[in-house]
Structure 1
Amino acid sequence: MKWLTAEVETNKIKRFFQGLGTLTRLYLMLSFITFSVVFIVGTLVYLQNKISFEPLSTITGTAATVPTTVFIDMMTTQVPQLEKASTSTFSQKNITKFLFQFMSGINPKNPKSLVALAIPGMERETPSLLYGGDAATSISPVEYNPPAKVFQQDEISSTREESPAPVPSEPAPNKQVNENKGNKSVFIYHSHNRESWIPELTKITNPDLAFDANKNVTLLGKRMKESFDKLGISATHSDKDYPSSVKGFTYPKSYQYSKLTVKEAFATNPKLSYLFDIHRDSQGRDKATVTINKKDYAQIYFVVGEKNPNWEKNMEFAKKIHDKLNEKYPGISRGIFGKNSNGNGEYNQSISPNSSLIEIGGVENTLVESYRTIDILVEIIADLINDAEKV
């Protein structure tokens, strides 16, 4: 009987150690897997920081796509002293919409985003908000390739008419002219020089057809140069029409054409420092207009090409302009957006840290509204240039 009891106790001890051994092996295996995952992720992050200058755009843009009210609601769940919003953003509708758009890249309110995923080149880039603006209300710039018929050969081969006289607008605020223009100067150009506006064109109601050989964003560039000249800032403007001057013109290569224009300008004037590529966005009037002191202004978007190795410097330059604009004219600038996924992704901005792509209003704004914005934009940039000259 004692022998049987001893054998039972021995079996229990064996089972205990067998179970302990199994748990030990399981623990060691899970520890090894965890260590391996942490090591691999750490290595990848280290290598990414060492060999890549591009930001993780998916992470950069994620926080910007989340409305500010979401963060407020999250804080109120942990800080009772904060007053909760009357309507929480944590609704099934809002959460479902955000998750669907974030995971699929399809905006339920924009049917074109679904088509763009299937047609290469239709969606040029997916911009992410880098700085400024309210993530809950900031609308990203939109750009789609115009239909091929807009640049048909019979239109391109026709003689380009002289640009019409600028539409009168309120004069720029009186400022003391700086007679010393310094050694640095401004170059203004247009990669998409035929971008126009529906209200300024006859028989055009489709935003995708709002392109014109005469009445287009080059008028904004001309106005910009004239405003700089009045303020004593040396400025040069290129209104080159690429569809009529480039053999075999194709719209997706616009930035390649404009890069040659910039290089030619530098060859003529090596002292160039400030480069501005002026566009108009494809958003509607309600998303690209702000009313200040009972006057309508075309809102401004800044675009930074994140494939430029030194994109942070261009962002800092745009940030200075954005901050001063909104300080003096609240809401005039929607913010700074980054692009790096497809298409160009560099926008000639590697040529100078003081280079910026600026969208002036949208396709439904008027020329007068855009001129108003140009006048105050030049005023702000001139102040920055003069401050830099003093330093």
Structure 2
Amino acid sequence: MPISKFKYYFQFIYTTILGVILVFILISGATTSFVSQKFSSDYIRGALEKVDAANLYSQLFNFENHYFPKEGSTISLSNLFFQVATNIRLDDTRTLLGRELPQLSFYHTKIIVAEEGTTIAQLPYESTPSDEILKNPKEADEEKITDDTSKTDDNNTHQSSTDKRVLIYQTHNLESYLPLLKNAQNPNDAISADERVNVVSLGSKLTSLLQKDGIGVQHDKTNMNQKLLDRKWKYTASYSASSEVVEAAISENKDLTYLIDIHRDSARKAETTSTINGKSYAKVVFVVGKGYEGYEKNQAFAKKLHKELAAKYPGISRGVFEKSQDSGNGIYNQNYSDKAILLEVGGVDNNQEELNRTIDAFADVFSEVYWEENGATEQ
């Protein structure tokens, strides 16, 4: 065989093998990419939620029959397919930057209902405390603790378990407020194990107020942080610890329907404080997870509470925010009930008076909503 023909066959075989290898690499890469997107129904729904279905169908029919009328504005199918394939919206840089820069992931929080002044720049967020501060939390400043705080009683001694329909607990129980702590100035230092100055105190006060209105409440004061330390779990596992508490409570009392998880935002005072009738209040935030089936019912309940609060105490609520697993836990134990809320009360700079006024206001509105929903059978 002539050398020239041998070279030809060799190059042909070499090119063919190289082509086959390249095809396998491309298929492998594409498969890995698409599988990693986890095309769940929730994922597809999120990508298509802003698409006008009627407009899309009319546009597809028009492609086949130009006499078929198109409705609305033209939809870019290439942009739509690109978003479904990559989960990146070309008109929203958060979808790219939030994945490339982990510190920006909380910007994936979606604003469902926003009060005046609430924008993407004022999204609620909870910073992760250092291991050092979690092991050595700050002490309370005795001079800043009011009598109202120390006298709060939520022992539930006069109620049977079957009377209780509200469960109050605190997943991040050490979250506290700088004005109530000794030697605490840095926002990351707003951590205390003292139940008189952390969010447990707000749970106790809310419990007492709701009980006075005839509502049966179970207040769980489990030290979630201590459970994490004992098990050598990371702070990010807090909801795994609190889910055990919620599940146990519900298994013991099937009547527990209203679940309230109280938190504190990490934002500063300008964003977390409002003046109502000349008095200063700590603002609240409703956070709804969407990482479970049926989250829409909890979202509707949060929107209802927000609406009633905003009507009676204008400016006290920053709004309702939705978080997927891209921007947080994504569930927040709200899968246990269709009336479960995560309530953030104030920020690191709010003082005891502001917090107390806000809990008074929330208890007032929550009681009205509760008896509106249950008054016919319980009163």
Q: TM-score range by the shorter chain?
A: 0.5 to 0.7
Query: Distance between the aligned counterparts of 1:221 and 1:352, measured in 2?
Result: 19
Work out the CA distance in 1 between the residues paired with 2:214 and 2:241: 30
The letter of the residue matching 2:312 is K
The code of the aligned residue for 2:304 comes to K
- 1:201-216 aligned at under 5 Å gives the runs 201-214=181-194, 215-216=197-198
Q: TM-score if structure 2 supplies the norm length?
A: 0.67
Amino acid at match of 1:128: K
* Alignment match, 1:238: 220
Alignment partners' CA distance in 2, 1:227 and 1:323: 21
Q: Which amino acid is the alignment partner of residue 256 of structure 2?
A: L
% identical aligned pairs:
32
Q: Report what 1:134 is aligned to.
A: 116
Q: Report if the CA contact (8 A) 2:283-2:345 is conserved.
A: yes
Matches within 5 A, 1:14-53: 51-52=41-42
Q: Which residue of 246, 255, 273 maps to 1:262?
A: 246
After TM superposition, give the deviation of residue 57 of structure 1 in Å: 7.5
> How big is the shift at 1:58?
10
Query: Which structure would you say has the larger Rg?
Result: 1
- d(CA) in 2 for partners of 1:240 and 1:224? 16
* Equivalent-residue separation in structure 1 for 2:217 and 2:105 (angstroms): 33
- Please tell me whether residue 335 in structure 1 is matched to residue 325 in structure 2: no
Cα distance in 2 for partners of 1:230, 1:312 equals 31
| Residue of 297, 319, 334 corresponding to 1:349 | 334
1:221 is aligned with what amino acid?
Answer: G
2:132 partner letter: K
Cα deviation, residue 337, structure 1? 0.3
Give the unaligned 5+ runs of structure 2: 1-37, 51-88, 152-158
Query: Distance between the aligned counterparts of 1:58 and 1:198, measured in 2?
Result: 43
Unpaired runs of at least 5, structure 1: 1-47, 61-98, 107-112, 172-178
Deviations 1:18-69 (A, max 9, x none): xxxxxxxxxxxxxxxxxxxxxxxxxxxxxx9993388528977xxxxxxxxx
SS at match of 1:317: helix
Which segments of structure 1 move beyond 6 Å, counting only runs of 4 or more? 57-60, 163-166
Determine if contact 2:113/2:321 at 8 Å carries over to the other structure: yes
TM-score, structure 1 length as denominator?
Answer: 0.65
Distance between the aligned counterparts of 2:203 and 2:110, measured in 1? 26
2:209 paired with 1:219: no
- Which SS does the other structure have where 1:52 is aligned? helix
For 2:330 and 2:40, the matched residues in 1 are separated by 21
Summarize the Cα distance change of 1:298–1:224 in structure 2 as closer, same or farther, 3 Å threshold: same
* Counterpart position of 1:56: 46
Question: How many residues align structurally?
Answer: 286
Counterpart of 2:271 in structure 1 is: 287
- Give 3-state SS (helix, strand or coil) of 1:56's partner: helix
In structure 2, do the counterparts of structure 1 residues 195 and 55 end up closer, same or farther at CA, with 3 Å as the change threshold?
Answer: farther
SS in 2 for 1:227: helix
Residue 268 of structure 2 aligns with an amino acid whose one-letter code is G
Letter of the 1:225 counterpart? T
- 1:200 lines up with 2:180 in the alignment: yes
Q: Give the match's secondary structure for 2:108.
A: coil
| Aligned equivalent of 1:146 | 129
Task: Please report how far the alpha carbon of residue 319 of structure 1 lies from its aligned counterpart in structure 2 after TM superposition.
Answer: 0.9
Q: In the alignment, is the contact (CA less than 8 A) between 1:277 and 1:358 conserved in 2? A: yes
- Equivalent residues of 1:189, 1:237 under 8 A apart: yes
Q: Could you tell me how far apart the structure 1 residues matched to 2:295 and 2:360 are?
A: 27
Counterpart of 2:270, as a letter, is D
CA deviation after TM superposition for structure 1 residue 195, in Å: 0.2
Pair 1:309-2:288 in alignment: no
One-letter amino acid of the counterpart of residue 291, structure 2: K
Aligned with 1:272: secondary structure? coil
Aligned residues of 2:289 and 2:330 also touching (Cα < 8 A)? yes
- Alpha-carbon spacing, 1:201–1:356, altered in 2? closer, same or farther (3 Å): same
How far is the alpha carbon of 1:102 from its aligned partner?
Answer: 4.2
Q: Does 1:389 align with 2:368?
A: no
